[in-house]
Structure 1
Amino acid sequence: MSAMTASVPGAVAIVATLDTKAKEAEYLSDVIRGCGRDTMLIDVGTTKTEPWAGGSTQPGRVASPAELLQQIAATTRPRIADLHAAGSISAIIGVAGGKGSGLFGEVVADLPYGFPKLLISSARPALLAELAAKNDIMLYPTLVDLFGVNGFTSRILENAGRAIAAMHYMPPPVHRTKIVALTAFGVTTPAVSRCVARLADAGIESIVFPANGAGGGKMEALVAAGEFDAVLDLTTTELADEVVGGTASAGPDRLKAAGSRPVPQLIAPGAVDMVNFGPPSSVPEHFKGRHFYSHTPYTTLMRTTPFENELIGRLTAKRLSQAKGPCLVLWPANGVSDYDREGGIFRDAVADAAWLSAVKRDLPASIECRELDCHINDPEFADTAVAWIVSQLQGKADANAHV
């Protein structure tokens, strides 16, 4: 294909193991250049020495494949970040099998949210799902293995090349509206919906994350990257899964990023009355006899016990104790989810109170725990939460004018 004059500043970086994917990478480069974009090949191959593949092991010892991949990632990741910072690249695409796909996920990890990242991959679906949970990588599964360019792979490479050629990074504006991150679950939707509306009344934008494990983890990463001005962490149910062993844990970094930035954060016990599993057959045997509810045919919820809620409360307080910025814990005395209300299937005031007692006992005196005589989905709860967030972002004198 004939190259055209590049109309978009910054090249498209092509990441590939050129010892095994050189033909695919070269074909991809031709497609992208034919669309008017410059390209930059970045070789992350493991069987030959390249400037991008560095690192060494102990003298006299040959690195294992896993160690070599870690070395390549450790060398390549900061250099790609430097290329972005210098404006040398404005999009990135990878073409890889299993090992290369995991490596691609590592080397693009420092690129900002919204920077175009596209991966053409023959890796197993489970690995691609892991990548999707960690970054905003666009995935193009090949369905066939990558062994050169043929009638099948050429179609994929052509489409992917044209797609990435049409993308380039648009950095956020220097002067923008304030943005608040929120967490939501189906059983806290009324509260979140009202928070979003009230924040909009105050001229503040809301970005909502599903508290399903991947959502909370992604929120933490974006908060750490400086994408948000405040966090309204209304739904901390992922901590229940972390403590009890459900399927929606966001991992050990949940509830840490806002405090380390620091940005104002409001914490509520949304849906800590439940632990998530898949269909009933997926529930571990040792939970037999517990209180369950089939939220959908594919989601089984288990009610937390007073002991478990105490552990969740202690973990909440422990992580919040490290916060360097403004922090408020807001407690709804009449229930923490749609299922945990008077007459609801998960209503257990004793179990809920165990969370509150643990938080109040272990929380530093510098962090307020405010109790409200309402349900989490009552308008009063959302209005109080938003009023505090607005007071932190716009000044207490302005808060009453907006909420």
Structure 2
Amino acid sequence: MSVVIVGTLDTKGEEIGFARDVLEAQGVDVHVVDVGVMGEPAFDPETAADAVAEAARTTLEHLREEADRGEAMEVMGEGAAEIVRELRDEGDLEGVLGLGGSGNTSIATTAMRALPVGVPKLMVSTMASGDTEPYVGATDIAMMYSVADIEGLNQLSRRVIANAALAMVGMVTIDPDVDAEDRPTVGITMFGVTTPCVQSARAILEEKGYETIVFHATGTGGRAMESLVEEGVIDGVLDVTTTEWADELVGGVLSAGPDRLEAAGNEGIPQVVSTGALDMVNFGPRDSVPEEFEGRQFHVHNPQVTLMRTTPEENAELGEIIAEKLNDASGPTALVLPLEGVSAIDVEGEDFHDPEADAALFDALRSTLDDDVELLEVETDVNDEAFAETLVETLDEYMRDAGTAPAADATRD
């Protein structure tokens, strides 16, 4: 088993050497990738810093003489990502360990994000008790707070670094016996207000012999699903909950970025899409909502989450954006509309029930969609079981036509 340590040997050589020693004492091979730019390494690594710079199509001399710190970190992150990908492809990487402050956290996690989900990734960092989203992104990086700065070895840093190294030993040497079943996999997006739909759809899909992976549509959830589509892990998409686009358009806190709804279409895999939770934009606590939105309609979901109702104008624009994304798809694509409500609080009698706003969304979708996208309209709300059945039957038909549906004998009793 081989663990790669990504670190700056010009500033953290003592600490990296200690982590290496703990790993090797447990019988694990160690490959150190030096990403330090300014000084000489504390010891000779398996991959030197100049090789990392070259992997990013530049030189260490250029970074030292002409680049500022921010550019140097970005370049070394790109180079480290190339190095760890190559090591993984060659069978010389079972896990990645990083340790450092903000600089090496940025570099090492850039490298970690280049690896598939499931490859052990552990970052010991001074930044791990704050906002880790910029470092973790949509991957399975584990962040461990270093408590004290990683500057010299002492009774605290030795314990923390040793714990991290031993955790990595466990991850790379113990077989968890969780091999994936050989079943076609469907990615599904969910929010609290679309949970009944997703639970019904998931049960039907699994009864038919599919494996399902559900993603919480919180920005990183949507990006994670699309990343796994690009990696080939997901064979079909049931995109029930496209709410992340409302946050992207209006300025909420759960945006998945402007590329959301592109991966399945680019890869040509079957996708069935709906309008789940497009009635809302997400913010944190009520007092965190920007002043520009005062006077809008709000629903306090819980003390940490405040929802804001989208307007007819915003819904019309969302409809155009989503339709254009689906029009670009190269694989079988359907859009299914729940005409009686797009979320649990967009039905008659609930806070966000707004037929005018929903009509603006649906009309924009109808008028913008190309004929190549199948349009289905169901006289139910999104959480009605009949709606879930329509979603699943449509996706199952597409996947059977594509030859990616479960074999007949895979159907569960």
Is this a same-fold pair by TM over 0.5? yes
1:25 aligns with 2:20: no
Write the distance in 2 (CA, Å) between the matches of 1:197 and 1:60: 57
Write the distance in 2 (CA, Å) between the matches of 1:388 and 1:172: 30
Pick closer, same or farther for the CA change 1:233–1:59 going to 2, 3 Å.
closer
Q: In structure 2, what residue type is equivalent to 1:50?
A: D
Q: Contact between 1:118 and 1:164, CA under 8 Å: does it hold in 2?
A: yes
Write the distance in 2 (CA, Å) between the matches of 1:190 and 1:379: 8
Unaligned ranges ≥5, structure 2? 40-48
1:155 aligns with 2:159: yes
1:263 aligns with 2:269: yes
Shift of 1:168: 2.7
1:250 aligns with 2:256: yes
Pick closer, same or farther for the CA change 1:242–1:60 going to 2, 3 Å.
closer
Q: In structure 2, what residue type is equivalent to 1:77?
A: A
Partner of 1:112: 116
C-alpha distance after superposition, 1:312-338 (max 9, x if no partner): 111101211211111000001110100
Pick closer, same or farther for the CA change 1:287–1:356 going to 2, 3 Å.
same
Partner of 1:80: 84
Write the distance in 1 (CA, Å) between the matches of 2:77 and 2:222: 25
1:352 aligns with 2:343: no
Runs of 4+ aligned structure 1 residues displaced above 4 Å come to: 56-61, 169-175, 395-399
Q: Contact between 1:195 and 1:382, CA under 8 Å: does it hold in 2?
A: yes
Which of 13, 36, 39 is residue 45 of structure 1 equivalent to?
36
Partner of 1:15: 6
Q: Contact between 2:236 and 2:271, CA under 8 Å: does it hold in 1?
A: yes
* Overall identity of the aligned pairs, in %: 38
Pick closer, same or farther for the CA change 1:329–1:247 going to 2, 3 Å.
same
Shift of 1:70: 2.2
Shift of 1:359: 1.1
Q: Contact between 2:241 and 2:276, CA under 8 Å: does it hold in 1?
A: yes
Q: Contact between 1:237 and 1:271, CA under 8 Å: does it hold in 2?
A: yes
Partner of 1:5: none
Write the distance in 2 (CA, Å) between the matches of 1:277 and 1:174: 36
Which of 266, 276, 283 is residue 289 of structure 2 equivalent to?
283
C-alpha distance after superposition, 1:30-87 (max 9, x if no partner): 1111111110111000114532233149899611111212222222211210110110
* 286-295 vs 227-236, greater mean Cα deviation: 286-295
Partner of 1:194: 200
Partner of 1:390: 396
1:140 is paired with a residue whose SS is strand
Shift of 1:109: 2.2
Partner of 2:347: 341
Pick closer, same or farther for the CA change 1:163–1:356 going to 2, 3 Å.
same
Write the distance in 2 (CA, Å) between the matches of 1:281 and 1:305: 21
Q: Contact between 2:336 and 2:375, CA under 8 Å: does it hold in 1?
A: yes
Q: In structure 1, what residue type is equivalent to 2:138?
A: K
Write the distance in 1 (CA, Å) between the matches of 2:216 and 2:79: 34
1:92 is paired with a residue whose SS is strand
Write the distance in 2 (CA, Å) between the matches of 1:51 and 1:346: 56
Q: In structure 2, what residue type is equivalent to 1:309?
A: N
1:207 is paired with a residue whose SS is strand
Partner of 1:168: 172
Pick closer, same or farther for the CA change 1:127–1:174 going to 2, 3 Å.
closer
Write the distance in 1 (CA, Å) between the matches of 2:63 and 2:20: 38
1:231 is paired with a residue whose SS is strand
Partner of 2:43: none
Write the distance in 2 (CA, Å) between the matches of 1:218 and 1:224: 10
* 81-90 vs 118-127, greater mean Cα deviation: 118-127
Equivalent residue pairs, number: 393
Structure-2-length-normalised TM-score: 0.90
1:53 is paired with a residue whose SS is helix
Q: In structure 2, what residue type is equivalent to 1:128?
A: T
Shift of 1:21: 0.8
Q: Contact between 1:43 and 1:53, CA under 8 Å: does it hold in 2?
A: no
Write the distance in 2 (CA, Å) between the matches of 1:261 and 1:236: 19
Write the distance in 2 (CA, Å) between the matches of 1:63 and 1:91: 30
Which of 351, 370, 377 is residue 371 of structure 1 equivalent to?
377
Write the distance in 2 (CA, Å) between the matches of 1:336 and 1:59: 51
Write the distance in 2 (CA, Å) between the matches of 1:100 and 1:368: 48
* 279-288 vs 49-58, greater mean Cα deviation: 49-58
Unaligned ranges ≥5, structure 1? 1-7
Pick closer, same or farther for the CA change 1:174–1:245 going to 2, 3 Å.
closer
Partner of 1:4: none
2:222 is paired with a residue whose SS is helix
Write the distance in 2 (CA, Å) between the matches of 1:124 and 1:113: 20
Partner of 1:36: 27
Pick closer, same or farther for the CA change 1:127–1:340 going to 2, 3 Å.
closer
Write the distance in 1 (CA, Å) between the matches of 2:192 and 2:307: 12
1:203 is paired with a residue whose SS is coil
